Chains A and B, each alone.
Chain A
């Protein structure tokens, strides 16, 4: 099992993601430079937070053209696990791997704070170790986390259970209208994280890699990494049992 952390010029949570995977989850992990088109040998790809290409033009708008994104799309199409955190989520939206777009936070200010999200779908490879409805405390740190999509897309997201995480109050109460205490950036339907229809691509605004050590305030992000490890382990043992099962091509 090997994780890859993509490094775009301007990524700044790449080291943190690497640390969480290598030192806390203790799984093999390597950095992948954005010019690389080669993802052979990786089982999960993480697009980290930061300001890829300075967030110029629009968050993620330039990063989606990096050579590595072609490879990431291929990887995703063939069933590989792709996790986009914060800027990584924004890049997945721009690349069309997830639907919708990010607007500036409703109050037009950068916000860094602990938030609470509820696991809305515990049947994805990123949440399978979580209880349905489990409340996770993780920090956000962004200027553009106000998720938006049109009504038809939202209906489809709901129907396909693609909304994986929703901002809620600490006690699990749903966020109300303009309830900035729970939904600090004003995201549509309090959406904090999404998956694609196939469930193998997830993007979320909170930073699970910042919530893996008690000393730093929360360990709730661990469940996301553990879910990934669990589902990859299952896939590996299945592959061993039935070698005919298709491996992820690079």
Chain B
């Protein structure tokens, strides 16, 4: 074997991304020098991506328990009880670097990976959401100084990512029901592709990745192993980008959604036989992580013989096989004597299923190849005793300066017509309709999608087994994270929870994907710890414990970190699917009411520099995000849940990017040709500039519509919940009009606004640079 000829030296260890201290630790655990296969195994398991070595001490601050939580962080995905004997299994994960290097396959395998995390627990995936961040795709004030070349590349990345997500999810047969797409210059060389998957299982049929039963066979199932993705976790996901990163393309895995669909059906069928003891997917670090983690969780060992592993390339070394990240593979432990039942199921589906090893009692991961021991490592030490770092933390001086930079924004004179700026905002890629993207995804397969992409503030999936439904949404504002990481993170939780509540569902749990720069930089660690504390506080107040997720560090290119971007996925439970609320106005003459969980009219002029309007219209990103009042958010959530269950409202849509004006327009766009006639004065503070009243992004506000006859009931419920309800207008059939202090500041034909909003994204992407 060639590998034995490579002598492991501190130099070779360094090339594997291991520090001298980490190398010394390996020598100590083994009591000798590692061979090259062992070094490779340690290097992937102790990579930032797999070991969470920089984040683990901080992640402990997150609340992870709650009345619904069945399984918190530490398993393949989080599990929450949703009643009637059912559990929801969900998790979000990043695939950022692969998606930059090879957008189509990077995004596709990101979806594939998170789906496996769900069905490895015995749950059938019922929905996928994607939280995407790209660099600018058109020039303009918001594009910073992005070059034409950058813009053209960003379009290609966007197109590849969208196609990749569709390619995988559409074929697999899971509806892609939502997510968000946001553009900022900082993501030009480091797009974010975070995929969330949600599944359903019966509680007693859950599976865990914990080996048991000494002597039980270890069975490899699914696709054959190739050389693709070797070091995906350690080299791609755990290091910054440089100009040579494009050459890492061979490190990106290649996805086969058809294979994954077969794997799904075969795994669920095999689990039903009762012969499966434990199962884990081979994701990052492939065979290495699945075997050592299952052994470690069970306090046992696993011995595998690599000669038996199905391979699609010749002359693969133990190093290659252990580190391969070939997709669509699973490792499972079966009950000795019943392995035939497992084989039968996989063979029915035309899949490889091979006994490659057995569970042992010596606590070791022992890897054999052609009768020779290629690696022997204590499993627990490998999986759980990796390095932990309390990296230095320092608040950057620049952050304080940016916060203090309440750059005086130029406001239009009182009564000025803001229609032109409003249209520019509607056409901006962040706000423009994402239909061109979501139409490329099958959002309806499995016939559970009650509120699909764009139609409501969160996706709503009915559950055929019960009258209940689930609502789910991802959110995260990187710009706000950059200006104030803690506050930005709190807003991410609050917005996702508020969106879920807008559908009538009660938020019950969350998952997070923490996208940050290089943790070895004290200012990045500061952003990270601030964000964690923000998430912890918000999740505690809003009763949405974190059940799992993923940390993605090293999102930097040429030394420039992305905005700190924590993405929150919040899951909500709707007791009666019939009560689901979407964001579209329903009938002419319905009252339009602004619900405000805070003190009505209170505003924050300094926060306007952080708004979408400031970014798009004035090219300014400054100041601090709006202050947050978690109590107000909580009151508003309670109010929305009650209104929906009383069937008191016809629509609900939260005020967020682009402020009240955009919220109102969107409720029209999604409707059956309705418009709105609104006076924003009643809901604004005295003396507030029109631009702030229309486009300010203060939280804890939701626009609802309802028949006049229901107004009294709405007021009673709002008062009971401590929420202000202010009637601001009426659903109409005429022109779209917003008045402020006696002047019509935005007005025009609805069709014109709709066209502006609908066509912009496609135009920007399909433009040839």
- Which residues of A does B touch, CB under 8 Å? 9-10, 12-13, 15-16, 19-20, 23, 49-51, 53-56, 109-113, 139, 141, 143, 207, 209-210, 213, 215-216
A215, B444: Cα distance in complex, Å: 12
Using Cβ atoms and an 8 Å threshold, which residues of chain A touch B172?
12
Known: A12-B172, A51-B258, A56-B258. A112 touches B446 (CB 8 A): no
With beta carbons under 8 angstroms apart, the residue of A19, A56, A112 that contacts B439 is: A112
How many Å from the CB of B751 to the closest CB on chain A? Answer: 14
With beta carbons under 8 angstroms apart, the residue of A54, A112, A141, A215 that contacts B258 is: A54
Q: Is the CB of A111 within 8 A of B439?
A: yes
Pick 18 A–B contacts, CB within 8 A, sort by A: A9-B261, A9-B262, A10-B258, A12-B171, A12-B445, A19-B464, A51-B171, A54-B257, A109-B439, A109-B440, A110-B440, A110-B441, A112-B170, A112-B444, A141-B444, A141-B445, A213-B447, A216-B447
A213, B577: Cα distance in complex, Å: 13
How many Å from the CB of B167 to the closest CB on chain A? Answer: 8
With beta carbons under 8 angstroms apart, the residue of A51, A56, A113, A209 that contacts B447 is: A209
Does B256 belong to the interface (CB within 8 Å)? yes
A207, B258: Cα distance in complex, Å: 21
A179, B172: Cα distance in complex, Å: 30
With beta carbons under 8 angstroms apart, the residue of A53, A109, A110 that contacts B442 is: A110
Using Cβ atoms and an 8 Å threshold, which residues of chain B touch A139?
444
Closest residue on chain B to residue A213 by CB atoms: B447
Q: Is the CB of A210 within 8 A of B444?
A: yes
Q: Is the CB of B258 within 8 A of A216?
A: no
How many Å from the CB of B577 to the closest CB on chain A? Answer: 7
A109, B159: Cα distance in complex, Å: 11
A55, B171: Cα distance in complex, Å: 9
A51, B163: Cα distance in complex, Å: 16
Q: Which B residues between 253 and 295 are near A, CB-CB below 8 angstroms?
A: 256-259, 261-262
Contact with A along B149-168 (1 / 0, CB 8 A): 00000000000000100100
Q: Is the CB of B350 within 8 A of A16?
A: no
A111, B441: Cα distance in complex, Å: 7
A54, B578: Cα distance in complex, Å: 36
Q: Which B residues between 439 and 461 are near A, CB-CB below 8 angstroms?
A: 439-447, 449-450
Q: Is the CB of B170 within 8 A of A216?
A: no
Closest residue on chain A to residue B453 by CB atoms: A112
Using Cβ atoms and an 8 Å threshold, which residues of chain A touch B173?
12-13, 50-51
Q: Is the CB of B262 within 8 A of A10?
A: yes
Using Cβ atoms and an 8 Å threshold, which residues of chain B touch A15?
446
Using Cβ atoms and an 8 Å threshold, which residues of chain B touch A10?
171, 258, 261-262
- Sorted from nearest, which 9 A-B pairs have the closest CB atoms? A12-B173, A54-B258, A51-B171, A141-B442, A16-B447, A112-B442, A110-B440, A110-B166, A10-B258
A56, B259: Cα distance in complex, Å: 11
How many Å from the CB of B672 to the closest CB on chain A? Answer: 11
A20, B259: Cα distance in complex, Å: 27
Q: Is the CB of A51 within 8 A of B261?
A: yes
Closest residue on chain B to residue A216 by CB atoms: B447
Contact with A along B419-440 (1 / 0, CB 8 A): 0000000000000000000111
Does B462 belong to the interface (CB within 8 Å)? yes
Does B349 belong to the interface (CB within 8 Å)? yes
A112, B578: Cα distance in complex, Å: 24
A23, B442: Cα distance in complex, Å: 23
Q: Is the CB of B170 within 8 A of A210?
A: no
A141, B166: Cα distance in complex, Å: 11
How many Å from the CB of A227 to the closest CB on chain B? Answer: 20
Q: Is the CB of A210 within 8 A of B443?
A: no
Using Cβ atoms and an 8 Å threshold, which residues of chain A touch B439?
109, 111-113
Q: Is the CB of B447 within 8 A of A111?
A: no
Q: Is the CB of B440 within 8 A of A216?
A: no
Known: A209-B447, A215-B450. A9 touches B349 (CB 8 A): yes
How many Å from the CB of A184 to the closest CB on chain B? Answer: 9
Closest residue on chain A to residue B462 by CB atoms: A215
How many Å from the CB of A202 to the closest CB on chain B? Answer: 21
Most A-side CB within 10 Å, residue of B166, B173, B438: B173
How many Å from the CB of A211 to the closest CB on chain B? Answer: 9
How many Å from the CB of B119 to the closest CB on chain A? Answer: 14
A56, B578: Cα distance in complex, Å: 40
Using Cβ atoms and an 8 Å threshold, which residues of chain A touch B443?
112
Using Cβ atoms and an 8 Å threshold, which residues of chain B touch A20?
447
